[in-house]
């Protein structure tokens, strides 16, 4: 039996997972999202067209691939329907290819409004302002509206009234903003469900059937390890568990944990929003990486903070996810640098320390300096085509993390990949 694969980001998100999932999708019959929401932004280039997927799995562009959204995903029906429309307008049909768990918790416009109001105060986290945090709060507090609630109007009506009352109290008393109309929220939910109902089904049973038939499944992670709500740079994190180990719960299929795990990392480091970032660059090198790498958020459009590759953080991610291999993306962005730096240690008050998220704001990076390479690598087709300096960087990554690099991305297009 072919082994299934979990694909996760190993940094603060934006590692280029969409392209890599798109590549691997050709080798699998099923792709499943298992956490996060439409705060994800997975960018794919197909036939010179750019697609940014926020909810729909990146395997949707292959005719033979069935795509699933597991119950660990927070689901915005507004965002889902918009994404479906955009894809279908470009000639790609989704009916029969997409199945969404009825057990997903729903994200409503009122969640996004609360998120935005909170972010406008002095204690902002730097979220995507899309309502992910408040929606996960409702899930934990047991007040979520589930997708299956849409099947019973009487139950749905009561839950909508209760939820809107709960948030309107905050909107009115704390934020002094305009309240929501429960009847309007209810009507819009029913309207959206009428359009989306054909996509809902039992994801757990479907994944079980695929697995038992001897087929392998590709599990698509969103965000990145360092944004995990438990193991990331708390409180500057997302609201879900982003690790490979969360796939069994998020997909609803426990056997998914018996999979290989591929970690995706850029050849440098970026993050969006607030929070510690030891290797962040505030000089021309950082601006150069941002410009060449087009480092602007696929979801928010915000400029990303840029820095050198942090091998200490990458090793931490490798351990947490039990990585079996690594994919290094955007290696070509470093083409014009004469010297490169990689972080190989942290110091706090002169003492070397390991990765500890609670202490990261105090950590000073210790760098290893490497030579850059003199020419573009965008035409390289295999590892031996790379300049010796680029190969040296890959070897340093492998030696430090103790994880083999099996794939290297040297351009934005689907075919810009080097296999090892």
**Catalytic positions, written as ranges:** 14, 42
Structure-token pair, residue 406: 């099996």
Tokens of 268: 């440098």
Give CA–CA dist 219/417, Å, rounded.
20
Which contacts of 76-79 are long-range, i.e. CB under 8 A and separated by 24 or more positions? 76/37, 76/38, 76/106, 76/107, 76/108, 76/130, 76/131, 77/106, 77/189, 77/192, 77/193, 77/196, 78/109, 78/192, 79/38, 79/54, 79/55, 79/107, 79/130
The answer to whether 78 and 42 have CB atoms below 8 angstroms apart is: no
- Cα-based distances in Å from 343 to 15, 225, 314, 355: 18, 18, 10, 12
Contact 405, 328 (CB under 8 A): yes
Rounded to whole angstroms, the Cα distance separating 69 from 216 reads: 16
**Nearest by Cα to 256 from 59, 13, 390, 72:** 72
Which ranges constitute the DSSP H helices of 149-219? Answer: 153-173, 182-196, 203-212
- Kindly write down the DSSP assignment for every residue of 361-397, as one continuous string: GG-EEEEEEEE--SS--TT--SGGGS-HHHHHHHHHH
- CA–chain centroid gap for 183, Å, is 34
Query: How far, in Å, CA of 261 to CA of 409, rounded?
Result: 18
Q: Which residues pair with 316 in a beta bridge?
A: none
Which residue, among 16, 409, 64, 59, has the nearest Cα to 224 in the 3D structure? Answer: 16
* Contact present, 327 and 264 (Cβ < 8 Å): yes
């Amino acid at each position: 039996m072919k082994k299934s694969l979990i694909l996760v980001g190993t940094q603060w998100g934006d590692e280029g997972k969409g392209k890599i999932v798109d590549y691997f999708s050709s080798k699998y019959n099923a792709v499943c999202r298992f956490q996060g929401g439409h705060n994800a932004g997975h960018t794919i280039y197909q036939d010179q067209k750019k697609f940014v997927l926020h909810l729909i799995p990146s395997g949707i562009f292959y005719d033979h691939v069935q795509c699933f959204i597991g119950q660990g995903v927070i689901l915005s029906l507004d965002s889902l329907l918009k994404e479906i429309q955009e894809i279908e307008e470009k000639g790609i049909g989704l009916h029969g290819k997409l199945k969404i768990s009825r057990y997903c918790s729903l994200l409503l416009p009122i969640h996004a409004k609360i998120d935005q109001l909170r972010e406008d105060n002095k204690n902002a986290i730097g979220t995507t302002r899309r309502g992910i945090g408040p929606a996960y709060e409702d899930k934990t507090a047991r007040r979520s509206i589930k997708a299956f609630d849409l099947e019973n109007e009487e139950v749905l009506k009561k839950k909508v009234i209760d939820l809107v009352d709960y948030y309107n109290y905050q909107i009115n008393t704390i934020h002094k903003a305009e309240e929501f109309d429960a009847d309007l929220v209810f009507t819009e939910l029913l309207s959206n469900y009428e359009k989306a109902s054909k996509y809902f089904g039992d994801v757990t049973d479907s994944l079980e059937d695929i697995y038992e038939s001897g087929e392998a499944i590709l599990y698509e992670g969103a965000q990145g390890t360092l944004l995990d709500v438990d193991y990331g740079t708390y409180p500057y994190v997302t609201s879900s568990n982003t690790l490979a180990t969360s796939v069994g719960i998020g997909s609803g299929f426990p056997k998914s944990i018996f999979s290989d795990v591929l970690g995706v990392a850029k050849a440098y480091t970026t993050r969006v929003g607030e929070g510690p970032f030891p290797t962040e660059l505030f000089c021309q090198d950082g601006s150069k990486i941002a410009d060449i790498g087009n480092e602007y958020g696929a979801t928010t459009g915000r400029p990303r903070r840029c820095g050198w590759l942090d091998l200490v953080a990458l090793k931490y991610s490798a351990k947490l996810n039990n990585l079996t291999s690594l994919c290094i993306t955007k290696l070509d962005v470093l083409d014009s640098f004469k010297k490169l730096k990689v972080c190989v240690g942290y110091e706090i008050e002169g003492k070397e320390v390991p990765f500890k998220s609670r202490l990261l704001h105090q950590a000073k990076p210790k760098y290893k300096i490497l030579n850059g390479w003199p020419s573009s690598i965008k035409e390289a087709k295999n590892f031996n085509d790379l300049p010796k300096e680029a190969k040296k960087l890959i070897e340093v990554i492998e030696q430090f993390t103790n994880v083999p690099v099996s794939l290297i991305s040297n351009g934005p297009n689907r075919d810009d990949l080097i296999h090892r």
